[in-house]
Amino acid sequence: MDTASINILLVEDSASDAQLLEQTLWQLGGERWQVVHFKRLSDAIDSCSKSTFDIVLLDLSLPDSKGLNTLGEFYAAAPNIPIVVLTFDDEDIALQAVAKKAQDYLVKGQITPNLLRRTIRYAIERGQILKQLRESEHRLRAIFEQTFQSMALLTLEGIILEINQPGLNLWGSQQQDCVGKPLWELESWNFSSTNQEWLKSIIAKAADGEFVRHELLLPSANNVMVWIDFSLKPLKDETGKAVLLIVEARDISDRKRAEAEVVNAWVQERELNEMKSDFVSMVSHEFRNPMTVIRTAVELLELYNHQLSDQQKSQYFGKIQTAIRQMLQLLDEILFLGRSDAGKLQYEPTPLDLEHFCSELTQTLQLGASSKHQIIFSFQGEQTSVEVDENLLRYILTNLLSNAIKYSPQGGNIRFNVLCQDDTATFQIQDSGIGIPFKDQQRLFETFHRASNVGTIPGTGLGLSIVKKCVDLHQGQIYLQSQVGVGTTFTVKLLLNHHDAQSLELVESY
Ligand code: ATP
Ligand code: MG
């Protein structure tokens, strides 16, 4: 500044004042100053776009602008030029001007060469420092605003001083609604006083100098719950005392979801493994029981062939046959499942007298049931001749009816209602047995799933999963209503007379 010449923009409508100033500058070494003089503010502002000035000496009373307005307009047009205001003994307005962007002021008539030099130099230096500060503030603000992270600045008491756009997006507020408010009054926090108290407590911790970080589940802008990585960092002064708090919040819902999926997959995998080994031991057990019956009966028949009466012999043969039937049924179920899993199960509709079919099935099952159980069959409908896949339907109904019997150990009536209307057959099987706990109901149609209240009632957990596959092949629906200790109703709705049902193979390939 001492060697290069300084460009001064002088805005002064009084020719004599302007002359006086130029003379004073001349006394300070004319070659060091380049002065461009204008009388009107508008001309001065225009010139700023054409030339560069190091400083402006600005009279506030001009023909086209008066008072602090002059300062305001000039600053708006050329914010980087340091301003020294020229006044006429009006300290008051001069001080206001300094408060509003002017670097300094000079009182006309009291301007000595030294004062002028010092004022110009300080104003330029201060202007440069301010410019650097502004640029640095710009850079920091850009980072603050442009980061994808939600950020806010709080006082030690938790009052919001600044909040960036991602923060506003996350908390669903407007800048003007947030600034000046305690953080815990934003919507995401104020829905629960426990949360608010917790937030106040961690703000107090951070104000004490501690870095606090937590993962939280909070409602966001549109009331969607989001997982947030939330931290409060104390900003300390050179003595190490916290002066402000920096809040950072990052939506980590995606990460949480991915974590949950991994855990879920792991849990499912483990469950599946457990179920498989349960299944293997259950199947072995289910086979072993009838095998033991057969072995014992055969041994007895072999050893005591001559001592046994014909009646005793036929009793043992009967036991062997029942045991063989049980094993065959189990084998059938496993094979059925295997076929359906391999996509080999077909839907093959044939004409069927539905009422007759159901009534015969009822009689067969009734024969196998104990006298404590009574199956009450009823049929309603305009038509009884339908087209369905007889094998699949037999499977469905046999399974549901035998479940109803099996899971009513104390006996009782089992209602089997069939309603055949339009193109739909509705089958309802209602028992008053042990019922199914609500928590188990969802997964009963999955293979190997059994309810938690089965106790010692035998079963493999395969029946319903097969039923479900058969129902799907009919493009039907199955649902259940159940209450523990009261009973269970299974309802199956099947589309009748449709020929376009797909094989499971096709269904599964989608
Ligand atoms: P199986 O393969 O021999 O049929 P299961 O009867 O255990 O074995 P599913 O028929 O698939 O298997 O039934 C699954 C589970 O649903 C049963 O273990 C039982 O917990 C529950 N359940 C099914 N029907 C009834 C019912 N009518 N009342 C109470 N619980 C039932
Ligand atoms: Mg069953």
CATH number (domain holding residue 322): 1.10.287.130
Pair 242, 308 in one domain: no
Residue 114, number of CB atoms within 10 A of its CB: 11
CATH of the domain at 401: 3.30.565.10
Closest ligand 1 atom, residue 330 Cα = 3
| Upper half-sphere CA count for residue 121 (Cβ side, 13 Å) | 13
- In contact, 55 and 21? CB cutoff 8 Å: no
Closest ligand 1 atom, residue 429 Cα = 27
Considering all CA atoms of the chain, what is the largest pairwise distance in Å, rounded to the nearest integer?
150
DSSP 3-state of 83: strand
* Residues of the domain holding 329: 257-341
Q: Ligand 1 atom 23: the closest Cα is on which residue?
A: 403
Residue type, 381: G
Domain-embedded: residue 1:
no
Closest ligand 1 atom, residue 450 Cα = 18
Pair 327, 426 in one domain: no
User: Rounded distance, CA 269 to CA 259, Å?
Assistant: 15
Pair 313, 172 in one domain: no
Pair 498, 373 in one domain: yes
Ligand nearest the Cα atom of residue 283? 1
DSSP state of 159: B
Domain closes at, from 144, 169, 186:
144
Q: Which residues line ligand 1 (CB under 6 A)?
A: 333, 399, 403-404, 407, 431, 433-436, 444, 450-451, 454, 459-465, 488
CATH of the domain at 241: 3.30.450.20
Pair 113, 65 in one domain: yes
User: Rounded distance, CA 124 to CA 130, Å?
Assistant: 10
Distance of CA 407 from the midpoint of ligand 2 (Å): 9
Pair 80, 152 in one domain: no
Tokens 């259940």, residue located: 480
- In contact, 9 and 74? CB cutoff 8 Å: no
Q: What is the pLDDT along the chain (510 residues), one digit of tens a residue?
A: 445 789 999 999 999 999 999 989 888 886 788 899 999 999 999 999 999 999 999 999 899 998 899 999 999 999 889 999 998 877 788 888 888 889 899 998 888 989 999 999 999 999 889 888 888 888 888 888 777 788 999 999 999 998 988 888 887 778 788 889 999 988 888 778 888 999 999 999 999 999 999 998 888 777 788 899 999 999 998 888 999 999 999 889 899 999 889 999 998 888 888 877 777 777 787 788 889 999 999 999 999 989 999 999 999 999 999 889 878 878 887 888 777 766 777 888 999 999 999 999 999 999 888 899 999 999 999 888 888 899 899 999 999 999 999 999 999 999 999 999 888 999 999 999 999 999 999 899 987 789 999 998 878 788 898 899 899 988 899 999 999 999 999 999 998 866 554 443 333 322
Ligand nearest the Cα atom of residue 429? 1
Pair 178, 84 in one domain: no
Ligand 1 mutation pick, 365, 396, 414, 464, max ligand atoms within 8 A of CB: 464
Pair 13, 136 in one domain: yes
Domain closes at, from 341, 363, 381:
341
User: Rounded distance, CA 345 to CA 469, Å?
Assistant: 9
Pair 15, 117 in one domain: yes
Distance of CA 458 from the midpoint of ligand 2 (Å): 9
Pair 297, 176 in one domain: no
CATH of the domain at 52: 3.40.50.2300
Beta strands in 440-504 (DSSP E): 477-483, 487-495
Domain closes at, from 315, 341, 367:
341
How many folded domains does the chain comprise?
4
The CA-to-CA distance between both ends of the chain, in Å, stands at 80
Domain-embedded: residue 313:
yes
Pair 369, 501 in one domain: yes
Pair 467, 482 in one domain: yes
